[in-house]
A and B are shown apart, each in its own frame.
Chain A
Amino acid sequence: MQVGYYPGCSQEGTAKEYDMSLRKVFNKLGVQITEIEDWSCCGATSGHVTSHLLSLSLATRNLILAKEQKLPQIFAPCAACYNRLAVSKFEVENNNNAKCKVEDILGETLNNLPPVLNIIQVFQEIGIDKIVANRVRNLKDLKVACYYGCLLVRPHSITNFDDPENPSSMEQIVKATGAQIVDWNFKVECCGAAHSVPRTDIVLDLSKKIIDDAVEQGANVIVVACPMCHTNLDMRQKAMTKLYNNHKITPILYLSELVGLSLGFEPKELGINLHFIDFNIPLMEEEKVL
């Protein structure tokens, strides 16, 4: 299986460990990832608040590059990148006016743009069975709350993937690692996202509620698929302990890290040591490999 890889800005900075872990995992599962050459900003946050057309054009440029480089599909691990690329593809394909403008700006004709996948979809393509077959570590002591955030499944008409209000696709992958699933209520609630810096108070409040519900429903780890969510839930927990009584420190893992652990990688190889919140749930000995 071959996918074009669109890392996006976070994979080289705040979410370096996301990049490390998914490269390891995909390598082991036989997925060849080819980074799109000369990729640029996806148009998220500052892009689309500045100009809708700018964000459309930025995202579409990357789609064109992938097509030129003969990459059959694009994988964007960051939920915001995924959302920008998928939404832009949808818009230029369904709104002729937007398409003409973007074509004009980019000086390219837009057709047959490659499909955009998020990390859950890539794991689905790899196949649950393959993860199970390659599993060497038992994660049954992990009680996982799967946190989707806002961008991964919305808007449904564009992502056309899972229930936008009560998704369950990430759970299927977590189940493949042998970890336990926790049913909880805040799967798609807002973490505060890009307000992290200008309005930290809002982010603290929202993210705290997310972690609290996960803990209340019995989770001892939260799994995410978005660097922004990870930053807010992981980095802000120290502040939460100061602000709120009895905050229960909870490690936050990327989905690729969790899968990586089950495939036998050491936490350090997956970059888990780079998190603000230490992951110190003891891992079970390896299962007997048949």
Chain B
Amino acid sequence: MKIGVFICHCGENIGKTVDCARVAKAASWLPGVVCSIDYKYMCSDPGQNLIKQAIKDHNLDGVVVGSCSPHMHEKTFRKAVSDAGINPFLCEIANLREQVSWVHDDVEIATDKAIDLVRIAVEKVKRNFALQTIKVPITKRALVIGGGVAGIQASLDIANAGYEVILVEKQPSIGGHMSQLSETFPTLDCSQCILTPRMVEVYQNPNIKLLTYSEVEKVEGFIGNFKVTIRKKARYVDDTKCSGCGLCIQSCPVKKKALSEFDENLTFRTAIYVPFPQAVPNIPVIDTSVCTYFVKKRESGKVACQLCMKKCDRGAINFDQQDELLVENVGAIVVATGYKLYSISEKPADSPIKGYGEYGYGKYKDVIDGLQFERIASASGPTAGEIKRPSDGKTPKKIVFIQCVGSRDEAKGFTYCSKICCMYTAKHAMLYKHKVHDGEAYVFYMDIRAGGKMYEEFVRRAIEEDGVKYIRGRVSRIYPKNGKYIVKGEDTIAGVPVEIDADMVVLATAMIAQDDAPKLAQTIGIPYDNYGFFNEVHPKLRPVESSTGGIFLAGACNSPRDIPESVAMASAAASKTLVLFGSDMLEREPTIAIVNENICAGCFYCKKVCPYNAIEIKQIVDRNGNVVKEVANVNAGLCQGCGTCNATCPSKAVELLGYTDEQIYAEISALM
């Protein structure tokens, strides 16, 4: 084998700490090395030409580049090598920058280490073999999970590029939390006015198949080729017949049994309902937990009520409707399942939040959370936009907002910052002041985090123009006294305890992951953090990609996000999807695991440890079709080449192409 070694100075980055000439010289003595050169910038055009020329001159069949991290330029050098006619996987990188020059000071020691690393790479490249990139066909349809603003944006972007989208939403209507908001910061434009037209656009777009009141049950397959099973829950209303006239809702006698989810439990809804008048689709669902027909049927088997069915002249009500399971083939998935606002009143025993009993949320009617305030301030809300407190409908003259309830509180809540609360609290206080001119608004804060375009200006406006009083400090207790709520806290700037006799208190509670986020993550095979938020593969450079190929993330399911960020992420996830759909075949790195079926004992430890569900069970049959044994089989589309199976396999039947045991042992031996 004829190996060429190319040592890069990386300007001064490597050259200052590593004697590159000495490394090149030492490398030239290694068995198999026929040419060894150092150069100032190997990644530059002349540098690459140097490599290509040497390949021709010396008829090289293996290349080692001593340069920066392979993360940086492995692709560059492999391309250069490939241009010169060698299989790119016969090129190895020795990392002389991140692993040597950047972490050492002593030139002697650093140079010795650089020589060692080059020797390792030379020994490895001797055992490298040509690998061909894997090509996989792509199904050019996308699945978007979640119909909030992020899901809507991603669906529209993909659909408008000409590809089919299946949008799955758990709730009866799309719109998500954004449809509940009154106005949006920092422009104070009406949330519904900007969102509902987009919801209609989704409904009318011929490329979008909208599945509301539906959930993803199963995801099989891999990038470009997913097979998704979706449960379309029974609405008990035939969506092909329903015209959305609303007669059924008017006729429903169940008026005071079910709290409105859309109004954040501030009002009641009927048993047959649409979440809000602008719902998309405008097709009701029946809540079987309160519907008289279903309740009576469960209790006594008798037929009762059915008023909605009698009223419906289109015969759309169908009490016998069943859940449907739909199977769809898609090439990419955008996950946009959003967040949940932490509600202090429902605190299960295993809740990670340990405190806040002192705020009396759930106990005192006028201590509410941020989304409830949104509903109260919203023109479509229970008070038609007038600020009134829930207990007695009086206009609060003094209102206290408390930020960071559950966020940034390691002892009682979550460590992270929920990010949007500083802004929406400023907005709430502002909206309040705009509607109650003689009212006083106080905000208890830890810090004001207003990073974003026009955000800081917005907060200043609340303070300076609208006279909202900001108090830096925490609140220790809220308790009722003479029809008011005494808010006891501390002003940490003045260093004094404060007590405010408020009429109403709004808690900016933490944004948390959806309850079923971990379950969904397991279903679709993406990693999530210990809070339940889905993980991106790289926080800076690949923020919308999950580590599973072909599955992208958008919005607050990844971490707390505001509307502009969610929308930006959604468009980014859509563009990643479109990049994928841009080619007919998908090229993938061939450094994946393979199974030696002769050795494989079928223990399937590899299957248990595989983080990507890439190991399948393959049956080996004899000529009569009888199953002889079962062995592991690697799905080339799913395998990401992490090597966990390789390390786990007790019989050494799994190898990782490009990183075989032989190659690794050769590297280790080169160091001895």
Residues of A within 8 A of B (CB): 155-157, 163-166, 185-186, 188-189, 213, 216
Contact = CB atoms under 8 A, between A and B. Distances in A.
Contact of B357 (A155, A157, A163, A186): A163
B358 interface: yes
- Which of A157, A164, A216 has the most chain B CB atoms closer than 10 A to its own CB? A164
Contact of A164 (B355, B477, B479, B481): B355
Given A164-B354, A186-B479, 18 more contacts: A155-B411, A156-B354, A156-B355, A156-B411, A157-B411, A163-B354, A163-B355, A163-B357, A164-B355, A165-B355, A165-B356, A165-B357, A165-B358, A165-B477, A166-B357, A166-B358, A213-B479, A216-B481
13 contacts: A155-B411, A156-B354, A156-B355, A163-B354, A163-B357, A164-B354, A165-B357, A166-B357, A166-B358, A185-B480, A186-B479, A188-B358, A189-B477
Contacts of A186: 479
Interface string B454-481: 0000000000000000000000010111
Nearest to B488: A189
Contacts of A166: 357-358
Nearest to B357: A166
Nearest to A165: B358
A163 B360 CA distance: 13
A228 B358 CA distance: 23
Interface in B50-64: none
A163 B358 CA distance: 10
B354 A185 contact: no
B72 to A, nearest CB: 42
A189 B478 CA distance: 12
B477 A185 contact: yes
Q: How large is the interface on B (under 10, 10 to 19, 20 to 34, 35 or more residues)?
A: 10 to 19
Contacts of A185: 477, 479-480
Contacts of B356: 165
Nearest to A188: B358
A165 B479 CA distance: 12
Q: Which secondary structure dominates where chain B touches chain A? A: mixed
A186 B488 CA distance: 11
Contacts of B358: 165-166, 188
Contacts, number: 25
A188 B479 CA distance: 13
Interface of B: 354-358, 411, 477, 479-481
A51 to B, nearest CB: 26
A155 B412 CA distance: 11
A170 to B, nearest CB: 14
Contacts of A213: 479
Nearest to B356: A165
B484 to A, nearest CB: 13
A159 to B, nearest CB: 12
A101 to B, nearest CB: 26
A156 B280 CA distance: 47
A147 to B, nearest CB: 14
A254 to B, nearest CB: 25
Nearest to B486: A185
A185 B481 CA distance: 10
B161 to A, nearest CB: 52
A165 B476 CA distance: 9
A156 B352 CA distance: 13
Contacts of B479: 185-186, 213
Q: Which 5 A-B pairs have the closest CB atoms?
A: A166-B357, A185-B479, A165-B358, A165-B357, A163-B357
Contacts of A216: 481
A152 to B, nearest CB: 15
A157 B356 CA distance: 15
A148 to B, nearest CB: 12
B355 to A, nearest CB: 5
A288 to B, nearest CB: 38
A47 B477 CA distance: 30
Contacts of A189: 477
A185 B485 CA distance: 11
B346 to A, nearest CB: 15
B356 to A, nearest CB: 7
Nearest to B479: A185
A185 B357 CA distance: 11
Contacts of A157: 411
Contacts of B481: 216
A186 B478 CA distance: 10
B347 to A, nearest CB: 9
Contacts of B355: 156, 163-165
A129 B190 CA distance: 59
- Which of A155, A157, A185 has the most chain B CB atoms closer than 10 A to its own CB? A185
Nearest to A216: B481
Nearest to B354: A156
A186 B411 CA distance: 21
A156 B477 CA distance: 17
A242 to B, nearest CB: 24
Contacts of B354: 156, 163-164
A157 B477 CA distance: 20
B419 to A, nearest CB: 25
A283 B481 CA distance: 31
Contacts of B480: 185
